[in-house]
Structure 1
């Protein structure tokens, strides 16, 4: 049996969950089509999803198409939950991108297709809501090609557009777009020897390589165009690959808690076969699989094993995390989307137990690692990183509904980073000056280009001391760089160990090992932060704030009122175009100003303004005071305070 792991993606409210319902109904999995508004859909199972009418967590459901078993993954459309989409992309064989025939290409539509193309994931486009007033077809095809910068191939035409009678009629595929990517097809086209079979074969091949994207029109509400889309899914998207006899390799893309609080991992198996009672390495840990659920005909059925190509739910892996590889690690994709750029402090209500709140937030972070908990022991505060205000509201409602914990939040602030301004070096030597640790550590910090992250290297011989001490230094360097001179995470730098030294295992005569005379990992972990921050001081660091790239389309006669507001919010238009009675501004704006602008745009544009923005880069803070972030560590910036916290004394 052929398998296909299919993702349904879209900008929020394009109708992706409704399309999922229609596909399940067409396959005979459900008897009645659920309603997003009524909260009765198959894949939106969380109470909060049903209340809000949006998808928050990815969900998996299986259905057959003739001899193909499709594991369909419904993903969130709201940009605040893009991390949930990111985790799914790495396990897909193909995707359907849903676009509204009324609203057309929206901010998230562009981000999603750009990412799908970059990853080479074969993608069909389904233009939904052709039955709605204001629906477009020909004009929308031009918009898809222009604004998505992607080759699209219309698979037919629409009649009755904008009415409940709207219908999709599959037609002959034209070869012009295909010929741009297939030289043999182009030659046959020029020679007049092209056949429909040759065109169809080229369409399959080019779609499978994510070079072109077939476009279907229809309506999830009426079912128009859905049978043709199902045929396209079967014919044009490639089946899952993988050798069930090969070494085990799987990826965990979702973790949830069961009714008894047990962890359940969702994993795609790429190679080999996973069986119950198998001991499975994942990350630097290991666990035993106690039960397996394989998705089949709308539900998951208990099985003793799951082979390559399938998606399963796994019980027993108590320490598993989202993103873990099971068995042989797979090649990492890296990050597909931007990291969260906002942060807020969680404020417990009067009757909320802080320990219970910390446990609940930890469990939420298990399911979404990018929540990024940051606990401040001194102030007894916990911060979470976020994509936007809707995500903050969802966290608040989840804590109340699932854990009975009432919380509020402080004002959302931008999540900045620090970058070294130059090069700096520092060293402390064992038994010299005021070094209280039995360790020698020298470090050099150098600035690197934006986007390169942090690297750690050795400028000393690897055999100069036990490997465990080098590992202690590297781990501590990475942990210390989470808080730079101004409290923000330090990135885009190279750290090199320039000096090292230790005291070998020693003891008094006729006595056992005496750690007061011999170096331990604690010495290197204790000294490294002092050396690193001194090197960073000498290099200097600059705070960079997150910047969004924005696109604003509005009536041209509202430009006079818009520009002063944009300027006040530090938005810098870089290009301006006029199209008839409308103008299009594109530029950059600090992430901290985006929410305020989103609230002002409707009033400034008579409700006709279209705003879209997404994280683009970090830029040095040049306006106002340099933002500081309270430290949560032992503060190596203050040597006396640090040593008092770490060693109980202030000097050697």
Structure 2
């Protein structure tokens, strides 16, 4: 096959999705460890010293033990470059996760062996399905007491409407766990003999489950259980099919324990062998192919204050096509401005290094001072706009009140920064001076207050808002829109783009007003452009 210079079959850009507490952060660290990026979980393998490498780097993340923002980490293994995007597991940050999933070519879905499919897992899976993102499933914590493997596989198949293809099989669970059997390569992985019971690289190659050597490696009960269950699994579930996987119709399933290092290396190998290289991205007027010669990328995330010593702002760009070179100029669609990218960066959580070049599938950071926003398309070619990054209407609205009224300017700056990141939305009422912040979940409000205090030295409190919900409004003609806004000025606001927003006291009022104003469109989403 003729590979053009801009095409990069050596890239694997993927996200890890899960419900909170399924072990996503632990798995992330172990993937970095097995990928050679760190010496030990939590430490960066860097020049001269081990540095902290946890993907959870915000103060509130460390205090609460949860991820509240997406992180990007790049590592190399066996000639492949892996771009790992760790996403918030908590449902209150689903918008950040959704935007991150627009920037990946595949995903790893982590499921707790004791809990199975949980609500947030299902929501994130549906986002992947909407974008036809292929998924590899990792059933975590098999070294603890959990549900039967068949029950877990059947739940994945039934609730997510996916064919499942088990690639390995646990020999017992919890206290009865004796290891994993690799169904694809007929290999046995056993835990250490000491109390840690972790995986120490003890792999036995076998001639199949009928190999007499198996009886010397595991207990008679374990051997009988393995032969019975694995035979049923291979007969009852679909064999792995690459085409079905890439279309999002089948998921290969790996059982393992991120904490005890079981199944992690096999998961990386699966990503290397099965996960797609950079895929075409939806765009107007036509999809962007990774082998297009022009450089094209889009901003899916903006993060302020990653470096607390500087009030920096970094835009995360997914490169879709072309070979990017440091210092090149890219046109910002929508504004028509040419932006010279002098100091592009590659990420390892909060750590960073200058990138001299990048290729389709890579994630680079562009330091800027508010010029770039989520949804922006950058290109050195003809005008094009990457599509599919919407804003969602907030489900919680609050007023922000300052304890020190002299900090109004700092508050405005902070709210603009955080709205630019997508952490919150800000609305400016047509009547009244207090700004309204909107979020999807309650935890976002805690993050807001924490970051105002820590990063901006602004002491603020949240007060009840007279409104309960918000919708963007539009009409077929300016006259129809003006007639409505003139009549409902007391319930109108603008978002930070100046787009008109109708603020309703409750869902009943929203339904009542929309029924009486059929010429007006009330939208719960707004396409970013």
Q: What is the TM-score of this pair, normalised by structure 2?
A: 0.72
Preserved CA contact (<8 Å) 2:298 2:377: yes
Shift of 1:297: 12
Check whether the contact 1:110–1:148 (CA below 8 A) recurs between aligned residues. Answer: yes
Structure 1 position 226 matched with structure 2 position 264? yes
Matched, 1:26 2:34: yes
Deviation at 1:273, TM superposition (A): 2.7
SS in 2 for 1:42: coil
What is the Cα deviation at residue 20 of structure 1? 0.2
Alignment of 1:106-121 (within 5 A): 106-121=118-133
Measured at CA, do residues 354 and 220 of structure 1 come closer, stay the same or move farther in structure 2, by a change above 3 Å?
A: same
State the match for 2:387 in structure 1: 332
Q: Which residue does the alignment assign to 1:250?
A: 297
Any residues of structure 2 matched to 1:401-412 within 5 Å, and which? Answer: 401-411=454-464
Q: Identify the structure with bigger relative contact order (alpha carbons < 8 Å, sequence gap 6+).
A: 2
Counterpart of 2:511 (choices 620, 637, 644) is 620
Provide the residue aligned with 1:203 in structure 2: 241
Match of 1:302 in 2: 354
Note the aligned Cα RMSD (angstroms). Answer: 3.7
Cα deviations across residues 290-317 of structure 1 (Å, max 9, x unaligned)? 2112358996432333233321112347
Q: Which residue does the alignment assign to 2:414?
A: 360
Change (3 A) 1:115 1:484: farther
Instruction: Report which stretch shifted further, 232-241 or 3-12.
Output: 232-241
- What's the counterpart of residue 4 of structure 2? none
Query: Which of 455, 458, 476 is the equivalent residue of 1:456?
Result: 476
**Which digits, 9 at most, give the CA deviation of each residue in 1:353-396, with x for residues without a partner?**
1221111111111111x622123486431210011221111111
Contact 2:396 2:442 in 1 (8 A): no
- Measured at CA, do residues 478 and 165 of structure 1 come closer, stay the same or move farther in structure 2, by a change above 3 Å? farther
TM-score by length of 1: 0.59
Distance 1:402 1:61 in 2: 23
Q: Deviations over 1:26-77 (max 9, x none)?
A: 1121112139xxx975211112211111111111111223122110000001
Q: State whether structure 2 residue 331 is matched by structure 1 residue 267.
A: no
Change (3 A) 1:84 1:418: closer
Would the alpha carbon gap of residues 270 and 398 (structure 1) be closer, same or farther in structure 2, given more than 3 Å must change? Answer: same
CA distance in 1, matches of 2:98, 2:167: 29
Cα deviation digits, residues 628-652 of structure 1 (max 9, x gap): xxxxxxxxxxxxxxxxxxxxxxxxx
Contact 1:342–1:413 (CA under 8 A) maintained in structure 2? no
Q: Tell me, in whole angstroms, the C-alpha distance in 2 between the residues paired with 1:347 and 1:389.
A: 17
Q: Partner residue of 1:216? A: 254
Identify unmatched segments of 5+ residues in structure 1.
174-194, 420-452, 458-472, 491-524, 534-540, 547-589, 591-617, 623-652
Q: State how 1:93-172 maps to structure 2 within 5 Å.
A: 93-163=105-175, 165=177, 167-172=179-184
> 1:289: how far off?
1.4
Matches within 5 A, 1:396-435: 396-411=449-464, 415-417=468-470
Larger radius of gyration: 1
Partner of 1:375: 428
Q: Deviations over 1:215-247 (max 9, x none)?
A: 111111111121221221111111125556612
Aligned to 2:373: 321
3-state SS of 1:60 partner = strand
The 2-side partners of 1:484 and 1:325 are apart by 35
CA contact (8 A) 2:430 2:492 kept: no
**Structure 1 SS opposite 2:126:** helix
C-alpha contact (below 8 Å) 2:57/2:350 kept by paired residues: no
Inter-partner Cα distance in structure 2 for 1:215 and 1:340: 35
> Do 1:291 and 1:316's aligned partners in 2 also have CA atoms closer than 8 Å?
no
- What secondary structure is seen at the aligned counterpart in 1 of 2:121? helix
List alignment gaps of at least 5 residues for structure 2: 1-8, 44-50, 186-233, 280-288, 514-529
Contact kept, 8 Å, 2:17 with 2:109, in 1: the verdict is: yes
Count of residues in correspondence between the two structures: 427
Number of the residue aligned with 1:604: none
- Determine if contact 2:424/2:439 at 8 Å carries over to the other structure: yes
Q: Distance in 2 between matches of 1:204 and 1:60?
A: 27
Give, in whole Å, the separation in 1 of the partners of 2:370 and 2:350.
Answer: 26
Summarize the Cα distance change of 1:33–1:418 in structure 2 as closer, same or farther, 3 Å threshold: closer
Q: Aligned match of 1:281 in 313, 324, 331? A: 331
Contact (CA 8 Å) 2:394, 2:470: kept in 1 or not? no
Residue 595 of structure 1: aligned partner: none
**How far apart, in 2, do the equivalents of 1:479 and 1:118 lie?**
37
Q: Within 2, Cα distance between the matches of 1:217 and 1:283?
A: 45
Q: Give the structure 1 partner of residue 446 of structure 2.
A: 393
| Alpha-carbon spacing, 1:244–1:298, altered in 2? closer, same or farther (3 Å) | farther
Asked if 1 retains the 8 angstrom alpha-carbon contact of 2:468 and 2:505, the reply is no
Paired residue secondary structure (1:392): helix
Deviations 1:117-176 (A, max 9, x none): 121111111111222233442211122222223222222211231239463322159xxx
Give 1:507-526 correspondences, 5 Å limit.
none
Residue 208 of structure 1 and its aligned partner are, at CA, apart by: 1.2
Q: CA deviation at 1:15?
A: 1.1
Query: Where do 1:179-198 residues align within 5 Å?
Result: none
Structure 2 CA distance for aligned equivalents of residues 237 and 63 of structure 1: 16
Distance across 2 between alignment mates of 1:482 and 1:64: 58
Alpha-carbon offset, residue 544 of structure 1: 8.8
**Quick one: distance in 2 between partners of 1:418 and 1:318?**
25
Q: 1:218 to 1:414 in 2, by over 3 A?
A: farther
- Which has the higher mean CA deviation after the structures are superposed, 266-275 or 158-167? 158-167
Distance change in 2, residues 1:69/1:137 (3 Å): same
Specify the SS of the correspondent of 2:151.
helix
Secondary structure at 1:163 match in 2: helix
